[in-house]
Amino acid sequence: MRIATWNVNSITARLPRLLAWLEGSAPDVLCLQEVKCAEDAFPYEEVRALGYEAAVHATGRWNGVAILSRAGLADVVPGLPGGPEYEGAQEPRAISATCGPARVWSVYVPNGRDVEHDHYGYKLRWFEALRDAVAADAADGRPFAVLGDYNVAPTDEDVYDPAVFEGATHVTPAERAALAALRDTGLTDVVPRPLKYDRPYTYWDYRQLCFPKNRGMRIDLVYGNAPFAAAVKDAYVDREERKGKGASDHAPVVVDLDV
């Protein structure tokens, strides 16, 4: 079974690349983030033509998450149960579903913007709610994983130059402690480091030639419970998909399981 995650940074802008990637990489399940469209504007027919059902939680403009599956799609829960509001509303940043033998969550963790911004506190509260919400799923006994754009680099090795990020979000002790608390629910980072190349980043800013210079961050993660981790046979970042015109600023992360 192949399960992947990808922040597409607008499914409308990325649709031709998404469809081509689905055909070429053939994941059984794909978790998407930052779809940036309303649910009724999602390209259901296009992905259905390739054999995928879609569960979508999105309201348009920013954010939005989805799960595409050709392994079944059941027990769909849109949203983060108990999640905090921002500016008076719960944002569409999480969706979970059972896909065949596995239970998966697709998450788009708040960015945080700046350590002095109220969005940073919102990010930490969102992590707390995520930890509480996934604890029961993680302990269920079936393969389970939380996949997505966590907007946190777990260690200094996950950014190209720690000095550049000093004092900024994505690397603060509080954010990394939130990741550790999530792992304490019984999850582990199932994508090993290094992979097929050193420093397997998943995100490169569009500006300042960050991708050609490999000035990236590893913020797209797959955290799985013990049954999920034990089934992992291979994992990789599809760096090739970040190349060329019209690419997302994130690359897909792919995990192959023997289940």
d(CA 167, CA 163): 9
Q: Which one-letter DSSP state was computed for residue 193?
A: S
Query: 29-33 and 2-7: which strand pairing?
Result: parallel
Q: Which one-letter DSSP state was computed for residue 84?
A: P
Is 45 marked as a binding-site residue? no
Is 249 marked as a binding-site residue? yes
Is 225 marked as a binding-site residue? no
- Number of other CB atoms surrounding residue 194 within 10 Å: 9
Residue 202 pairs in a beta bridge with none
Catalytic residues: 108, 149, 250
Residue 155 Cα distances to 4, 92, 158, 162, angstroms? 22, 27, 5, 9
Is 75 marked as a binding-site residue? no
Smallest CA-to-CA distance from 170 within 97, 214, 220 is with 220
Is 234 marked as a binding-site residue? no
DSSP H helices in 111-197: 118-138, 173-183
Which amino acid type is present at position 14? R
Is 9 marked as a binding-site residue? no
- Residues belonging to the binding site for Mg(2+) are 7, 34, 149, 151, 249-250
